[in-house]
Structure 1
């Protein structure tokens, strides 16, 4: 039986600052995010992954770069990127404002 591992990207400066990213903000991992990525790799590096799938956002492939460097087949799929938060992207998160967004 195949297993599927789904992970979230590591931390970015925008995450730390409470800024909404969405698919329109292509931020990189910060130092904490890079450490999270390395810790994940060290925990799972001995598993025999067939593929690594990421969205086309930098923070996603930076999060699994160690696996990619091992030679695991990497496939970019734009359709799995984070949703767009529209005019809210790049703004400080406000729970009241986000409450009114319909998905």
Structure 2
């Protein structure tokens, strides 16, 4: 998952949305882990809500990490996005120069 390396993607996301981002220490497990948890839940004989199952069995004791972006990090992220947008015409010109739909990996220099 995107949160496998602690705080990196979380910091970028916090800067992008200019808001706190909180993830649990299980966030790095990804989709396969989540699907197996849902499969286990669906096989339970006991009738409990999914919310109760997750809170009382799966995430009980899980630690949360919250990242708050600094104003400078938000500025840095916005500057990065602005530079990427400025570079899009360059990418389009390269694409046109190389033949439009051509796969640039197959073009010999």
TM-score (norm 2): 0.27
Q: Which has the higher helix share?
A: 2
TM-score (norm 1): 0.28
